[in-house]
Structure 1
């Protein structure tokens, strides 16, 4: 009797896509670290939010500290990638306008990130913050400000101090959201219309402050 050849069956894929799993963990960890900081965050809570096991978290990140580093680095890398796509030859005022729009849009999508940075400053005095390439992230804005002064578009200013003021105007809105929502409970300051209004007002305010009279 001739036996028919056995059919080869493809192995069933049972392992999740590694990159998707890591992003899922990072999303959950960002929320937990923003609420509790490095010291108060629990790996078990992150695992529950991410719907993975604690062993999976340790497999990808080895320790809570390494996971925390990855969470802090991720927003820096995301914004850096966006800034690299900007036209470097734009007039300084238009380039500044685009940077403001990017900064606010990024925070609007991730309003918890301001609390993440606050927790880092409060608990660790910036020890992990200094490991992120934040200065590299800010170089684009510093160059725009320096070019604006050199070309006579902007008044004489101190670029790094001005950068600090610009970020304050753009981002403090999200830092105080959890407090201010109680002052005006009928107003959703994170809805698209409110964010658009904040963006336009921030642009007008900042440009008025840096323009050469």
Structure 2
């Protein structure tokens, strides 16, 4: 087998896997883990069921792959924030990134929310260790900002929980928002909502809102 053929097959395989992951994300968000069938995923991806099983072996493996992709894509500027950074800039950008994810990847957010609501049974391996380590690192930075008077907030954990709750609400409860407002939120509404959350959070921490987010 030539190198060109190997590279071509590799590209096709990668493309097929991504098609399957995208289709699975939609189906798991709509039907949950138990209600989703491999055939549904295959039909949405326009691929044979055997292809799905070839790449992922089982529904459980496919679901774990979807969860891992979500966690990987949730990486943000906040992951690399340091004690020396400007908390207003870091928190504003973090909120904007979380809201962008809710706008562009609502299915991913809903899958993660359902997994957590059900006790995170499929995340106990890699999620607990990685997430706890991430949280400890971020709390250490925020706590330093608190202790040095850079921000005014009583608890670093609660600040982060509040940001998550506000931002992910726009994806996880979008049906409620659409019902209450009479229409689905578009990009302009998301931009307004993003600025509103940034204003609430930063003013609550006695921070000046960066010009870009006013």
Q: 1:108 and 2:103 equivalent?
A: yes
Q: Please, which of 119, 127, 142 is the counterpart of residue 121 of structure 2?
A: 127
Where structure 2 has 5 or more consecutive residues not aligned to the other structure, the ranges are 208-214
Following the alignment from structure 2 to structure 1, what is the Cα–Cα distance between the partners of residues 166 and 92?
A: 13
Aligned counterparts of 2:92 and 2:133: Cα–Cα separation in 1: 19
Matching residue within 139, 143, 148 for 1:142: 139
Q: Which has the higher helix share?
A: 2
Please identify, of 20-29 and 149-158, the stretch whose mean Cα deviation from structure 2 is larger: 149-158
1:51 deviates by 1.1
Alignment of 1:1-213 (within 5 A): 17-80=12-75, 82-83=76-77, 88=82, 89-122=84-117, 124-131=118-125, 132=127, 133-138=130-135, 141-185=138-182, 187-189=183-185, 191-211=186-206
**Pair 95,121 (structure 1): closer, same or farther in 2 beyond 3 Å:** closer
Q: Are the counterparts in 1 of residues 23 and 41 from structure 2 also a CA contact under 8 Å?
A: yes
| Residue pair 2:77, 2:90 contacting (<8 A) in 1 also | no
Change (3 A) 1:164 1:84: closer
Q: TM-score by structure 2 length?
A: 0.81
What is the CA deviation profile of residues 4-24 of structure 1, one whole-angstrom value per residue up to 9, with x for unaligned ones? xxxxxx97x678611111111
Q: Is the CA contact 1:76–1:137 (under 8 Å) kept in the aligned structure 2?
A: no
Deviations 1:127-174 (A, max 9, x none): 113333334554564344223213212125222222111111111122
Indicate conservation of the 8 Å contact 1:96/1:141, yes or no. Answer: no
Is contact 1:44–1:54 with CA below 8 Å preserved after alignment?
A: yes
Structure 2 CA distance for aligned equivalents of residues 47 and 201 of structure 1? 40
Structure 1 unpaired stretches of 5+: 1-9
